[in-house]
Structures are given as C-alpha cells and as structure tokens.
Structure 1
Amino acid sequence: MAVRDIISLNRTITNFVRDGLGDRALAVYRWMVASGFRETPHTFSAILSACNSCEGPQLHGRVMTLGLCSNPFIGSALVNLYMRIEMPYAALLLYTEMALRSTVMSNVVLGGFCNLKLTVDLLRSLLEMRRQGLELNGLSYCYTMRGCYQDEEWLEQGRQLHGVVLKAGWVPSNIFLSNLLVDLYSATGNLVDAKNSLDDIPSEDVISWNSIVSVYARKARMKEATEYLRQMFWHGKLPSVRSFVGLFALSGQIGDIQFGVQMHGVALKLGFSWSSAHVQTALIDMYGKCCSFDCSLAIFNEIPSLALECCNSTITSSIRCKVFDSALEVLYRMIGEGVVPDNVTLSATMKAVSLSASSSLISCEMLHSWVFKLGFETDMAVCSSLISAYARTGEMRSSRLIFESLQDPNVICFTSVISACARYGDGAQGVELFNKMVSRGLKPDDVTFLCAIAGCDQAGLFEEGRLVIELMRASRELDPDERHFACMVNLLSRDGFVEEAMKMMEHSPLRHYTKAWSSVLQSCRAHGENVLGKRAANMLIDVGQKDPATNLQVSKYFHEIGDNENASRVKAMASGQEVKESGHSLVEISRGI
C-alpha cells in the first residue's frame, strides 16, 4: 500500500488480533504511534485485546492522556483487559466510574467474575446492576448461573435465579440459559429437575442432549445415560466430546470395561478417538481404572501428536495398574517429542519410580534435575514426591535436605518426611517433626497420624505412640481406623502389653483384621502369654480360616506350646490350600540393581 492511513492501520490491527497474532498487532500499533498517527477509539478497542499485564496498564495511561476514558467501547475493552489479567477490582472500579454502562460492559464484568470463580462479587454485582435499573440480557444470567453451580456454596442462589429468569421470560426461550439449568440441577444432585429442565428444551438442540448424557454419566447412572444417548441417535443428533468424556469416566468409575469398550467403538465410528485430546485422555484414564494398562498404552502409542494431558493420564494409569517402569518410558517419549513435563508429570513419575522394584538413585537424580530445570523446586506436590522417592532409595539425607529447603512446607510435605523417618526406624525424629507441624498450626490428616504412629511402632516409642493416637481422638475431626489401631496394637504387643493389646483388638475395628491378630499371636509367643495366645490363635482361625499362611502360623504356635492335637487339626485345615510364593527384594549396589 503506497499511502497508509488510520483506517487501514486499524483494520490491520483488528485482523491480527482476530487471528490470534497479538505480537504483530502490537508491532503495527507501535509503528503507527512512532509514525505520528493519532489513535482512534477503534484502535484502542482492538489493540487492548492483545495486551498482557505489562502492556495493558501502559495503554490505559495512553487512553487517559488522550482523554478517551469516557468512550463506552474503550471502557468495555479496558474492563475486559483487567478481568483477563486477573485484576478484577480494577475492572470493577473502571466500570463504576463509567457514565454510560451498556449491557455489553455489564456482561464483561459478570463474565470476568464468573471465569475467576469470584461468586460473591459476581452475585453482588448482579444485584447492584438490577438495583440501578441497568439493562441485562440472557447472557448476564448465564454468567451468574454458571458461577453459582461452579461453587457448591451458592447452589441455592442458583435455584433462586431460576425463578428470576422464569419470571423475566428468559426460560425456555433462551436455549443457553435452559442448558445451564440442566447443569445447575445436576450439580445439586436433583436429577428430576434436571430432566424437567431438559423437557422444556426443543429436541433439535444438541447441547441439551450432551448436557443430560454427561450429567447422568457423572452421577454413575449408566442406564439413564445410555438411554439418552440412544434417544440422541434416534433424533439424528451426534454426541459431542463432552458426552464421551462423561461416559468413559463412568466406565472407569464403576470398573465396567465392557461398557467402556462399547463406548470406545462408538467414538471410533464417529471419528472422535484421534481428533480430540480430551477423548484420548479419557480413554487412557478409563482403561487404567479398569486395570487394563495394555489398552491404555496401545492408545497412547497410536496418538499421532502427543498432548501433555494424555502423557499424564498414561503415567497415572501405570501407577494404578502397578506397571511402574512404564512411567519413565512415557516421560522419555515426552521429552523426545518436545512435550514439556509439568508438575503433575514429575510428581506422578517420581511416585512410580519410588514404588518400582527397580527404583534407583540415578532415576531420582535425573528427575530431580528436571525439577530444577523446569522451576518446580518450590512446588509442594513435586517436593513431596521427591522426598518419598529419595527415602525409598535409602537417601534419607537428600530427603531431609529437600524438606529443609522449603520455606513453608504443607501437610503433604510433612507427611512425606515423617513417613520416611518411620520407614528407616527413626521414630523419634518423626515424632519431633509431627510436633513441629502441629505447633505451626497445620492440621494433620489421617495419613500423617498413621505415619507418626508407624514410626513409634518401628522405634518402640510406646508413650509417644499413645499420645499421638490420643491426639487423633481428641481432634474430633478424625477417627482412628484399622490401620492406626493395627500400628498401636503392634506397638503394645512388642513392648509386652499383650493384655492391653487384646482389649484394644476386641473394642476396635480390628476384630476381623487378620494382620493385627497375627501380630498379637507373635507377641504372645515371645512373652510366654499362652492363655492369651490361645485366645488370639482361635480368633485368628475364625477371621482367616481361608488363608493357608494364617493356618500354618497358628499350627506352628500350638506345636511350640505343646498342644499337638490343635496343631494337627489346624494343619489339616491348611492342607490342599494354595500357598503364595515368597516375595523377593532388589538391592542397589554400586549403581547397579
């Protein structure tokens, strides 16, 4: 173009913004200003859409310099900018200072609060707009209703909004609001009202069909979900990605691989399997939850272009199916194809490495280097996995160094390091860390209590273990379960308090817990408590009579105390039962397994 004017430059900026080329749009804008062209309202309304948190406020200053703040189009663009860069209160201040507030500008405010999940501000803004008599439309209530069902605390307000939109006549004429009502009542668990809302929507609307299919799938109502899917096909409508993601999640939730395979076939027939990363991820996750990792891996290997979500789903599936070595292979392929791991990838891979029989220090160090390279050294989930991984390879010093490098460790990190101490018999250090955690105001969860009690059990710290379990009871938010009682019974038995251990067994959830009775029986033999030992042996037979290992243990106990008659009787019960093969361990010596 021989002569450039402001109209052609504005059109160029608009086209670049529309095509997602924000950098080019900004480059044209800078050249335009440097060349002496004066911006128009159209210039700012277009270029503000391409700005980030650094450039946006600078352009706002330029708008103020030119005296264009009162322009409603520029005002809407500025409000949208501040909402997009997560400065909602600056956006709200701009909105309230505007003399002319259009419906579009009001919707920008409501949409911003909805996207940022600031439900309180969203509802307050809507009420203020209604009080001032500002004109609102169906989209205004769409944003507000979506904000309500995104936050469980505000579901009742969403039901009240149903009455408002019904009175205003927006339902059922506004199809988007009608579909949001289906989602709203689904979130409250009220499937009857969800179905009634669906019945008000014309059958031609495919969005509503997908909504109700995904709703019933999310509620594990397979019969209703498949029935609506069948009706959808009968009306000539095709399910969307949302429906298939919900159906695959349902299959994984109930563990029905046959249903999942059928839905997989439908997705393949309709061409969804390779066109959507969401469907691929849901398929990998579904087969993983159904303990069919070969199918998960086959889908992963056939994906033409890897997505981060698919890789993460494959790694978590390998952990769920206990195929731990495959997690590292997936990570290597990710790196090879240029997919950058995130904190979920590294955390899950480290968990797989720590649980693998062939875990090694080299693998941990390699993953640790990636943590530093990608800047996740302060991520709590990643650091927690690192602490556990190093501890499982015997590098307690590295685990402690990682923990001590954290400025403000959370409950998960404390739990990991306490668990590491328990694993290596350093119960005193574990109790010290537990007390430090409580003194910081952090609330231990059931796993934290379990690790602390297990550490006391390993180290023989009877009084400390009793105090931990009493603290758990006193919290009134957590009740000890069979795992906590089992550790405590084991600790009591080992220290010779066999009778107290028996009383705890008989008045706790452990009455039918084989491993705890086995521990008591061993302690009775070690401390010569034959009367209590016979009681424990009889209880062990009752709760574990189908287990040959249990029967052989009881038979051996009766033989050792001279009760050959019972020994022969119990041994006869074990004959013909299949005994498990002995396990094995791998040890790393000189960087070799």
Structure 2
Amino acid sequence: MEMKYDHVSYLTLLAVSTLLADMDLGKMIHCDIAKFGFDSYLAVTNALVDMYAKCGKLEDSVKVFVNMKARDIVTWNTIIAACVRSENCSLGLRMTNGMRTEGVSPDVATMLGILPMCSFLAAKRQGKEIHGCVLKFGFETDVPIGNALIEMYSKCGRLEDSVRVFKCMKMKDVVTWTALISAYGMYGEGRKAFRAFLEMEATGVYPDHVAFVAIIFACSHSGLVDEGLACFDRMKKDYNIEPRIEHYACVVDLLSRSGHFAKAEEFILSMPLKPDASIWGSLLSASQAHGDIKFAERVSEQIIKLRSVDPGYYVLISDVYAALGKWDQVRMIRKSIKARGLKKEPGCSWMEIRNTVYVFGTGDECFEQFEEVYKLLGILAGFLAKEGYVANLQFVLHDVEEDEKRDMLCGHSERLAIAFGLLNTKPGIPLQVMKNLGVCGDCHTVTKYISKIMQREILVRDANRFHLFKDGTCSCRDHW
C-alpha cells in the first residue's frame, strides 16, 4: 500500500533537514513539495524559507520568499532572521521596510530580529525608529526588547541612551546587567562597569559566565588589573562557575594589555586548559602594541605551532616580522595563508551622513569625492607635522620605500572616512566612524591630532571598543 504524504508530513521532513542543515535533503523535499502542490500552504513555504537560511543559502531563501503568493508575520520574521544569520543586515533592513510597506504589524520577534541589524550597522536613525515602534506597540515592558535596545544604542555610539533605557526598565535580568556592563566596557568606562557589577550582585542577580567575560573585558580595557583578577578568582570561589577558555583569554588580555607580559605568560603556562590561538593571540597583540617585538616574535612561534585557521593571527605574526624587517618570514607567512586557502578580512570603515551610509576600503579611490579627500589629507599632513607628528611606519606591512609607506598609511579606511566627514559636515559637528577591524596605532595618533587641529569630536568604533577623540586626547587613554 502506497503511503500518502500531507503538508504536515512535509513540515516534519523540513524540520529534520533544517535541524541537520542537510541541504541535499532539503532540496529533494522542496522538489516534492512543488511537484505535489504543497507550496500553496503558507506554513510549508515559511518552513522552506527557514530551511534554506539555516543551511546557509540566503539567496535561495529569498527566492522562495519572493515567489510566495501570501505572507504573514511569521514569514517576515523568518526572512529578517535569515538576513541577520547571514550578516546581510542591509538586505534585512530593506525587508523591514518592505514589511512596513505591506502594512504588516510587527511583533516582539520582529523587533528582536531588527535591533541586532541596527547594532551591526550602527544605524542610529533606524534604531531610533525601531525604538519608536517599540513604544508605539507597547513592547517596552518586554525584558529581551529592553536588553536589545541597550546593546543597540551602545553599538551605535549612544552610551547615554543605553543607560537611559536601562534605568527605565522595571524588570532586569542577568542579560540586562551584562548588556550595561558590556556597554561601559566598550567605552573604556571600567570603573562604572565594575560598580554596575557590584550593584547587580547587591540586587540579588547572580552573574553567569557571560557576565564574567563582560566585566573582565571592561577591566582589561581600563587598566583595572586587580579588579579584573579579583572577578576571575570569584567565579569559582563564590559562584562555582568553572572558567572557560574565553575567561582565560580575557585574563591574559587583562595582564598583557597593561604590560605584564611575564605574568601573562606564566598564567598561560599554569592554565588547566590547553591554550589555544586566542590565548596566545591576546599576548601577541598586546606585546606588539607595547613595542616589545622580540617578545612578540617568541609568542608568534607558539601560534604557528597551533596551525590556527583564523587568518587574523597570521596577519599579526606577519606584522611582527615586518616590524623586525624580516621580510623573508613575512613572505613565508603570506604564502602559508594563501596555500591554506585562508583569507584576511579587508579593512573597511563606514559613516552615516544625512541618512546615507558611506563605505570606505583601505586604499580605496572609487568613492565619491576621493580626489578632494586625498587633497584634504595632504593638507592635514602639513598641520600634523607642525604638531610634531611622525609617521609610525611599522604599521605598513610591505617591503617598500618610506614615502610609499606614508602614502599607504594615508589610505587607511578610517582616515578616508574622517576626511570625507570633515568635507561634508559643518565645522564643529561631531563625526562618528565605524570600522570592522582594530584601529592601527598610527591612525590612533593621527586621529588625536586631527581632533585638536579641526576642533572636532571624533567617535571611532573598531572591532573591540569605542574611541572618543577630543582636543588631542582619546577616551581610551592610549590603553586599548
């Protein structure tokens, strides 16, 4: 007797293929669904959108979505979540606009899908609009919504708004407190983060392993070594939380960022867990930033032994050898990266001016007004020299002449963004730049000078934290 399937059967099969992330099985099921006409069921097409997204095929997910004859709130939430999962936040925001155009009212799940996109893009305007929707639809009492708003505002350069949302929340959980502690940490407000941690405990909320990562990170980026170590010790002693590899990495970062390289190395060697590339990478990055290149070279050897698949560590190692002038080793590392199929994420920066987002790549000459931008950077170079600036050529990782190295530094993406912002905003207006990688030491120095020369506040968010440049100083106090 032949078994007949109904739409519920196909929903079950799709759930299995989604759970297993089995693309081939999912496609076979999709073919049968189309063949037998079950794609007329809304629940089935919603499940198809979700299946393709969770199998890493956003393009196929969007194709199903576009061809759907009917959509409901579940459909929109699913495609928005798919965009977030694939880190295609620009598409996600367009989908959000499409949802609004079709007159579909959002629910809590919609908001929890949209807010992380605003965080990722640092889209302040859209974030404020979503906050308005939260208030309009009465979602402000939902704790996860409040938590997402704290994170969104902090990543959009609006720490004061993060704190305001936190204070307005009547109910707070450990995620709420952790979001606030993380926000303070990103802005170098370690003292405030530490006070928030103690206040959380005083209210009877127990920190979890994520909260301990947040507080040790905050202490690390503010030079609060004793406080950070005390928090690490209390994890197991007071809360019976077994430290994970990320906690050990934070402690190594805490020690090495403050120049305690010997203590950091001793800590690594005493760990009960086998140190991975993230552990040695923290020590490498800090020792390089502090100029202890010989120590950094020794740490590099440890990372090479681990054969990490993260190209970022090999870029750091390449930096070290370049600073030592060992160009043969630099070429060897680069060949190794290429041979193993690893790809370094290209540096880029972006900024929003009058509701338009402008993106700049390192060495980019294809953006609007690029000739004016490079001309302004040339003019600024003269003012910088008068202020005593000398280019730090160790941040150029190519074996070229010094003049060419200076030109390469001038083309770093954050400098292009800052110059573009200076050209396209009124004098005195603060600038805000987002960057996908860490700010290099030379650009950090240059931005301090520009903030003084041009009398501008410049807020830069890099991969780790915010830097507020004002009157020739940075909020990180050169401790990043």
Fold conserved between structures, TM > 0.5: yes
Which of 31, 36, 40 is equivalent to 1:265?
31
Q: Is the 1:361–1:591 Cα contact (8 Å) retained in structure 2?
A: no
Corresponding position: 1:483 with 2:249: no
Which of 335, 349, 356 is equivalent to 1:575?
335
Q: How does 1:273-422 map to 2 (within 5 A)?
A: 273-275=39-41, 277-356=42-121, 359-422=122-185
Alignment CA distance shift 1:468-1:507 (3 Å) = same
CA distance in 1, matches of 2:278, 2:139: 40
Q: How does 1:87-106 map to 2 (within 5 A)?
A: none
Q: Is the 2:293–2:323 Cα contact (8 Å) retained in structure 1?
A: no
Q: Is the 2:277–2:308 Cα contact (8 Å) retained in structure 1?
A: no
Alignment CA distance shift 1:265-1:570 (3 Å) = same
The structure richer in helix per residue is 1
Deviations 1:169-218, CA, capped at 9 Å, x for gaps = xxxxxxxxxxxxxxxxxxxxxxxxxxxxxxxxxxxxxxxxxxxxxxxxxx
CA distance in 2, matches of 1:425, 1:372: 30
Alignment-mate amino acid for residue 370 of structure 1 = C
Q: How does 1:396-545 map to 2 (within 5 A)?
A: 396-475=159-238, 477-508=240-271, 511-524=274-287, 533=296, 535-544=298-307
Q: Is the 1:312–1:345 Cα contact (8 Å) retained in structure 2?
A: yes
Instruction: Give 3-state SS (helix, strand or coil) of 2:205's partner.
Output: coil
Q: Is the 1:415–1:448 Cα contact (8 Å) retained in structure 2?
A: yes
Deviations 1:484-541, CA, capped at 9 Å, x for gaps = 2112101101222222211222343774532432332344456676885554232122
How many residue pairs match? The answer is: 353
Q: How does 1:544-555 map to 2 (within 5 A)?
A: 544=307, 550-551=313-314, 553-554=316-317
Instruction: Give 3-state SS (helix, strand or coil) of 2:351's partner.
Output: coil
Alignment-mate amino acid for residue 315 of structure 1 = I
Q: Is the 2:13–2:29 Cα contact (8 Å) retained in structure 1?
A: yes
Deviations 1:35-83, CA, capped at 9 Å, x for gaps = xxxxxxxxxxxxxxxxxxxxxxxxxxxxxxxxxxxxxxxxxxxxxxxxx
The TM-score, its normalising length taken from structure 2, stands at 0.67
CA distance in 1, matches of 2:128, 2:288: 45
Alignment CA distance shift 1:548-1:250 (3 Å) = closer
Q: Is the 2:50–2:79 Cα contact (8 Å) retained in structure 1?
A: yes
Deviations 1:261-298, CA, capped at 9 Å, x for gaps = 101111222222222x3222221111111111111112
Alignment-mate amino acid for residue 295 of structure 1 = D
Counterpart of 1:71? none
Q: Is the 1:257–1:287 Cα contact (8 Å) retained in structure 2?
A: yes
Q: Is the 2:252–2:267 Cα contact (8 Å) retained in structure 1?
A: yes
Corresponding position: 1:247 with 2:13: yes
Give 1:575 shift. Answer: 3.4
Alignment CA distance shift 1:530-1:419 (3 Å) = closer
Alignment-mate amino acid for residue 439 of structure 1 = A
Counterpart of 1:585? 349
CA distance in 1, matches of 2:16, 2:81: 18
Alignment CA distance shift 1:499-1:306 (3 Å) = same
Instruction: Give 3-state SS (helix, strand or coil) of 1:585's partner.
Output: strand
Alignment-mate amino acid for residue 465 of structure 1 = G
CA distance in 2, matches of 1:366, 1:309: 21
Instruction: Give 3-state SS (helix, strand or coil) of 2:352's partner.
Output: coil
Give 1:245 shift. Answer: 2.4
Counterpart of 2:443? none
**Percent sequence identity over aligned pairs:** 28
The TM-score, its normalising length taken from structure 1, stands at 0.55
Q: Is the 1:521–1:533 Cα contact (8 Å) retained in structure 2?
A: yes
Instruction: Give 3-state SS (helix, strand or coil) of 2:147's partner.
Output: helix
CA distance in 1, matches of 2:292, 2:93: 50
Give 1:320 shift. Answer: 0.8
Give 1:569 shift. Answer: 4.8
Alignment CA distance shift 1:525-1:244 (3 Å) = same
CA distance in 1, matches of 2:29, 2:202: 52
Deviations 1:227-248, CA, capped at 9 Å, x for gaps = xxxxxxxx33323343322322
CA distance in 1, matches of 2:43, 2:222: 48
Deviations 1:118-168, CA, capped at 9 Å, x for gaps = xxxxxxxxxxxxxxxxxxxxxxxxxxxxxxxxxxxxxxxxxxxxxxxxxxx
Alignment-mate amino acid for residue 583 of structure 1 = G
Alignment-mate amino acid for residue 304 of structure 2 = I
Give 1:345 shift. Answer: 0.4
CA distance in 2, matches of 1:586, 1:510: 39
Instruction: Give 3-state SS (helix, strand or coil) of 1:244's partner.
Output: helix
Gaps in structure 1 of 5+ consecutive residues? 1-234
Alignment CA distance shift 1:516-1:314 (3 Å) = same
Alignment-mate amino acid for residue 352 of structure 2 = E
Instruction: Give 3-state SS (helix, strand or coil) of 1:378's partner.
Output: coil
- Higher mean alpha-carbon deviation, 531-540 vs 264-273, is at 531-540
Deviations 1:300-354, CA, capped at 9 Å, x for gaps = 2222221111111111111111111222222222222232110110111111221
CA distance in 2, matches of 1:545, 1:405: 44
Q: Is the 1:551–1:570 Cα contact (8 Å) retained in structure 2?
A: no
Alignment CA distance shift 1:383-1:581 (3 Å) = closer
Counterpart of 2:376? none
Q: How does 1:28-67 map to 2 (within 5 A)?
A: none
Q: Is the 1:499–1:532 Cα contact (8 Å) retained in structure 2?
A: no
Counterpart of 1:31? none
Q: How does 1:127-142 map to 2 (within 5 A)?
A: none
CA distance in 2, matches of 1:262, 1:382: 38
Give 1:250 shift. Answer: 2.1
Alignment-mate amino acid for residue 334 of structure 2 = A
Alignment CA distance shift 1:576-1:436 (3 Å) = closer
Over the aligned positions, Cα root-mean-square deviation in angstroms equals 2.7
